[in-house]
Structure formats: structure tokens, C-alpha cells
Amino acid sequence: MYSRIIQATSPTGYRMPAPRAILEVTYPDREALLAKNCILAYHGSKLENFHSILHNGLSPLFASERSLFGKGIYFGSDLAISIDYSPQASFVWNKSILGERLSCVAVCYVDKKAYSTSKKNSPESYIVVDSSADMQLKYLFVYSQKRKSKSGVTNILQKNKFIIVLLIYILILVFIYYRR
């Protein structure tokens, strides 16, 4: 699926890293928009914002008037653009199977009419949409920082904490017994 999306959207040919996971987002009441005349575009944001994005959608209300190309929802026509706006989370999930530090990029369908009426002063690779009605979130690319492999001794100690504590306790009991 990833290679199909990249082939359809990345004109620059940059080799971007594959995401650790691809999540498909479905909104049954809005599937009709996806069948219309749309293009795929990317939206990068902080990981903390994606809970709201999934529940409320992307909204131009959160855009600033001081944004580079005016108010609106910003997309990149190429993943290489939007991935820069998706920094890895500042917090760590030690037990996550996806990785300890995550970031997300949204893949959205954008109505071609909204795309063609994009802000005139924005570069070709940027898409600025005025209304959330002109776009639909379809996939989330989840990226993760590679875990650092721990040394063999550290790994054994972490996996066998209970046994190690039990052995130390038994050694203390044996020491006390022979001390008498």
C-alpha cells in the first residue's frame, strides 16, 4: 500500500523511509467524497495533535493568520515536505510495539477544485485548503525511532528481575544461616 501511495504522489523521487505502520481511517458518512475528483496529499503535525485530528478532522480554525501562505489547512503534494512538520514526540513509550518515539503524517484526499484554487502565492508542492469539507483523512503513516539495542547483560537483567531478586534473597538467607 505504501509504495502505491508514494508512486501516486511523490514527483520528486526522493526515497522516503517507509512508515512502521499504516493505519486506514474510515468515515462511513463521508466515503462519497473519496470517490470524487481528488488527489492524495500529506499533512504533517505533532503526534499530540492527532487525537483531535482523528476525532474532529483538520480545521482551518487552528491555522494562524501569520502562516506562511495565509490561513488554511496546509498539505504537501510530496511526503518529503510534510514529514518535516511531523517531529518525533517528546515523550517516550517504553513498552510500545511500534517504537519508543513516534511521529505521524496524515494522508488525505483533497478535492481537486480546492487544490486548483489553492493560495496563489504558495509553491506548487504546497496545497492550502480553506475548508475541511474539501478534504478527507484516509491514512496515517506512523514512524518510529529505532530502538537502541541493549547490551546482553543489561537485557538479561531487565528480563529476569524477579529471579535475580529471589536469588539475592536466598543468598542473604544462606549468609544469615551460616553466620550463626
- Using alpha carbons, select from 131, 150, 23, 9 the residue that is nearest to residue 79: 9
Band of pLDDT at residue 95, cut at 50, 70 and 90: confident
C-alpha cell read off for 79: 511526503
Give the class (CATH, top level) of 2-144: alpha beta
Residue 46 has pLDDT above 80, yes or no: yes
pTM score of the predicted model: 0.70
pLDDT digits over 104-128, tens only?
Answer: 999 998 888 776 545 556 677 788 8
Summarize the confidence of residues 85-91 as an average pLDDT.
Answer: 83
Summarize the confidence of residues 70-98 as an average pLDDT.
Answer: 82
Neighbours of 22 (CB within 10 A): 14
Q: Map residue 160 onto helix, strand or coil.
A: coil
Model pLDDT, residue 145: 74
Asked if 72 contacts 128 with a C-beta cutoff of 8 angstroms, the reply is: yes
